[in-house]
Amino acid sequence: MKRSTVIGHQQYTFQGLKELLAKASPERSGDVLAGVAARTVEERVAAQIVLADTPLADFLKEELIPYEEDEVTRVNFDLCQFRR
């Protein structure tokens, strides 16, 4: 699901929660080396704004880590009864 916001005259669009979370996080050298960090401070702020407006339910709809591979994900989905 695409998510976006406008700051000044620049529109910032994020392709999904994985990209949004990576770009909203504080800058880390590993993220920069992996190519997932925000390119500018403005892009990081845009990601943080979009993340703040993202409903919690969206985290249960969009699978970030496969259910079968992560115990914490399984517990969260099972407790919320959103298992697909």
Does the predicted TM-score (pTM) go above 0.85?
no
Three-state DSSP class for 5? strand
Token pair listed for 70: 């992560």
Structure confidence by residue, pLDDT tens digits, 46-66? 999 999 999 988 887 887 888
Fold for domain 1-53?
Ribosomal Protein L24e; Chain: T; (2.30.170)
**pLDDT number for residue 61:** 82
CA atoms of 79 and 32, how far apart (whole Å): 35
Give the integer Cα–Cα distance in Å for 18 and 34.
13
Query: What is the rounded average pLDDT for all residues in the chain?
Result: 88
Rounded Cα–Cα distance for residues 68 and 82 (Å): 14
Q: What is the domain partition of the chain in residue ranges?
A: 1-53, 55-84
Half-sphere exposure of residue 72: CA atoms within 13 angstroms, side-chain side = 2
**Residue 81: which pLDDT band, with cuts at 50, 70 and 90?**
low
> Taking residues 21-46, what's their average pLDDT?
94
